[in-house]
Structure 1
Amino acid sequence: MNTKTVRSLAAATALLGFSAISAGAQDVPAGYPADYAAIIEAAKKEGTVSIYTSTDAAQSQKLQDAFTAKYGIKIAYNDLGTNGAYNQVISEAAASQVTADVVWSSAMDLQMTLIQDGYGVEYKSPEASHLPQWANYKDTLYATTIEPIGVIYNTKALTEDKLPKTYADLITFLKDNKGELQGKVATFDPEKSGSGFLNHSNDAKNRPDFWDLAKAMGEDGVKIYSSSGGMKETVVSGENVIAINIIGSYALDWVKESPNLGVHFATDYTPAFSRLALVTKGAPHPNAAKLFVDFMLSKEGQSMLAEGGLPSVREDVTAGLNIKTLNERVGGGLKPIAVDEGVLEYMDQMKRVQFLNDWKAALGR
């Protein structure tokens, strides 16, 4: 090989190397560290990311499509429900056969338990600075949405002006309209729904009159359900007139398609939960996991979630609802549940059992 050929090959190799670096650098989002290109390239080589979640695929489809289109990484999307995702992670870890890369669930208490018990890892996302302080737990657990808890009602049976304006008014409303509402009130079953348990127990911690509400629902012969969708169908059909403590992000979408369905929020107190994301310990695709979490938290990813009906936890997202515009929509009383150890209070077995016993007693069952 002559000297000229060697020089040409060296130049070509250098050019290819420069092109590869440039291509990787182009993929790095603005404001990210320069070495983030290594995570992107490693994630692409892994080729897939496995998500264990409780979020309907339809609501996250835009997010999934945008992520795959941007990075060419396939998503193994497993909707296992809140309890299912939690139990699957634990059982797989016990068998040393971890499959999930990311766990993304609305059961904030179960997600925090996974972190406390060592099933997640610390990862400081470059997007962390764009989140509210309450939305990040020690760089291990991130809030990806902000979703209000509210009421849905049958508009043929109730009109907006008759609905209670505050939490206390709701209790009075249930007591004063027993005849009209008897056997036609719905709410979550905290024994069968992780989200339902979180919603009710959060109210019990923050509202001294929660048990008055529970008793009022019991006196009206409240029916309990394991899912928001189940309650929605009964309210649309008129079997139930009102459903209390329902996932408002779902409801805000439902009312667009169901003319006889309305959504309502108390102006003084509208608690809001978040779907929390963590990277699992021993994730088979750790770089793809990090990349997916970062994309979820980015302005682009948050916009995709908001367009899918899951309000953004960031204020700079203009698609759909964000934390600021959502607060305006619910009347100014938005109360996010902080991502901290406080969500674990009722994970204590004795407290959990006591809560469920008190719940049944309040309902008269």
Structure 2
Amino acid sequence: MTKEEFTEDVYCIGCGAEIQTEDPDERGYTPVAALQKGMESGQLLCQRCFRLRHYNQMEKVSVTDDEFLAMLNTISSEDALVVNVIDLFDVYGSLIPGLHRFAGNNPVLVVGNKVDVLPKSVKMSRVRQWLTEQVQAVGLRPVDVVLVSGKKATSIDQLLETIEKYRKGRDVYVVGVTNVGKSTVMNQIIKAATGNNEDVITTSQFPGTTLDQIRIPLDDGHFIIDTPGIIHHHQMAHVLSEKELRLVAPQSEIKPITYQLNPEQTLFLGGASRFDFISGEKSSFTCYFANDMKIHRTKLEKADEFYKKHLGGLLQPPSAEDVENFPPLVRHEFNVKVPMDIVFSGLGWITVRKPGKVAAWVPKGVDAVMRKPII
């Protein structure tokens, strides 16, 4: 028995997504065996909602730009607190364009996730101030900024207290782009709020919508509403495979590496990106990337030849089998006058301390930007 054998569309009673049995990575996926049982019992859940219901496990789901914009427009007409989860390792790739307009008069609480990957020597007060400045630069005026680790459950209790402080008896909408760890944060919120008691969260407490929202019940009858992640098309995640992403996405505290470079030297960040020191005084450049990222130094004049020869081999990612489909690197030049970070969106950054001219090469479609140093 498959979904196609029914004359009417069938939907998940947890989130409202249309049930499908073909693609585990798409919304509404349900294994055929689960579909049969669900139809017989009248309790048809997609795999995502089933895992939430029985294991308090929240999985990420994404929507198209149009769907997400429609959802944001809905939020602006609500009286609610908006919680925006941002990846501290990829702030630029985490920002939702125009969120301040879509939030309307609703307050926005910014949550910086993955604080566990930053070096322990970093002062959290500085990071919090830095993140505040970054979101203010794009027009967001958050009522507060909280730094957490969804993976380590760091400061989740503080996050819940802050949410309670600002929601003032209203619903809470949690928004974020894909790959920022929003589902991991939501899992920790559920665990903290329910004591990991699966009987607290029941199917009936998750009314569905066509946008695949999940509603986490609060004691006063309101909800924390988990929304689908919007796809940010400038993220590195869109040019690397899932296996390669695990290699370049930090899984633990970053161990910075500092290189002493002369002008006309190049650093290759695997084969995914490249950094050129074009001109300036000999200086130190500190690299903040996943600990498994292999960095190779060569002369600028030999860089093109080196890349062509070793891409997919010495320079990975991409892997040899993915080289053919890997986008060409695009050059972005920067004139640095004061200490700045050169950011390779979704990959990491290099801190430039002295004035000089540098260039960042990133896959076509991925962003490279210059910002005030985070560390």
Q: For this structure pair, what is the TM-score category when the shorter chain's length is used for normalisation?
A: under 0.3
**Higher relative CO (CA 8 A, sep ≥ 6), structure 1 or 2?**
1
| TM-score (normalised: structure 2) | 0.27
| TM-score (normalised: structure 1) | 0.27
Structure showing greater radius of gyration is: 1
Q: Which has the higher helix share?
A: 1
